[in-house]
Structure 1
């Protein structure tokens, strides 16, 4: 019975991503590979004989932020297969399955371990998966992106965003102020950064 459920869930996830995830054709293979990877993980570690345990649902799920995805794309470097994995992850976010988004990006990092955009995407996906909380894993992902590409605006922008959303306003202000000081006047994300910085409580 456990296998039947997990196969049905896998098919349902794939169908949801195809119908609502807005995936381009180039992302179909990475998505299929990630779903099969999930099945393989269940085959190795799943325990369908263990009885289920009811848990309390989260009061409010973190929603996918289209504007945030657009800003990340503006800051991205667009090389290799990284963008395809990020598109697949965004589709999973829209479908309400952030754990799948984390899986897709981790699969992409196996192919492109030095892609800073994938590390930024992983940090964002981990935060959504954790209900908006900045976990050590998410912090590590942003730091890894910054180590790979020190001038990349993505790591400080999204680390600052995560801190602001979790109420750590002084830390967010410090990170964003430093980023704004080195952001070109014609950068497409500068206005968004200035607006977010101005909205931080004093």
Structure 2
């Protein structure tokens, strides 16, 4: 009987994020998966005697989210350059929603090669997913190291902003993505999609974009 209010609350939170806060469609799956992870934790810890039937859709959603994370990360790296063997193995676990195992392999990756920016980034993503969307100190460190190794790559800043958004701190996302877009070279593939997501976030927060004209006048 306790499942009814829990499910109703989850549906309400998702509805508010989508319709009231105008959460971008590209983030629906990530946000929905975070809710499902929470429900899965309740099923395992709140009522351990309940049947295991709800785990099937949760596993499916976790797998879809993992695949989305891997594909999104790879878009920021050259198609012909494969990641290290540890990252490839970790990606296989990520695609199955096994983020703790993925993080273990990625720790081996950065231990073997501390200059592997993609491994640091993948580690940050895995740690955020393992913490059910919470931006932990370890994840922050991983994103920071990824940016230090490859400061010209926008991926660490983009995914850090995404993690802040999932953690309920859209103001930090706004600041990070604005700076990222301001410094983005013209003609880059990711500039357009980032600009669209930034515009949606600004609308959600009720603030306007910072135009070059306003900066000049100031």
Query: In which range does the TM-score fall when normalised by the shorter chain?
Result: 0.5 to 0.7
Secondary structure of the corresponding residue to residue 168 of structure 2: coil
Structure 1 residues not aligned, in runs of 5+: 1-53
Greater relative contact order (CA < 8 Å, ≥ 6 in sequence) = 1
Query: In structure 2, what is the equivalent of residue 174 of structure 1?
Result: 175
Query: In structure 1, what is the equivalent of residue 165 of structure 2?
Result: 164
Q: Is the 1:71–1:189 Cα contact (8 Å) retained in structure 2?
A: no
Q: Is the 2:84–2:109 Cα contact (8 Å) retained in structure 1?
A: no
Q: Deviations over 1:114-169 (max 9, x none)?
A: 11111111000000000010001000111111122222211101100100111111
What TM-score comes out, normalization by structure 2 length? 0.60
Q: Is the 1:77–1:117 Cα contact (8 Å) retained in structure 2?
A: no
Verify: 1:94 aligned to 2:95, yes or no.
Answer: yes
Query: In structure 1, what is the equivalent of residue 45 of structure 2?
Result: 55
Alignment of 1:82-161 (within 5 A): 82-161=83-162
Q: Is the 1:86–1:118 Cα contact (8 Å) retained in structure 2?
A: yes
Structure 2 residues not aligned, in runs of 5+: 1-43, 48-53, 206-218
More moved, 127-136 vs 92-101: 92-101
What TM-score comes out, normalization by structure 1 length? 0.64
Give aligned pairs, total: 148
Secondary structure of the corresponding residue to residue 96 of structure 1: coil
Q: Is the 2:70–2:94 Cα contact (8 Å) retained in structure 1?
A: no
**C-alpha separation between the residues in 2 aligned to 1:166 and 1:135?**
10
Q: 1:79: Cα distance to partner?
A: 9.3
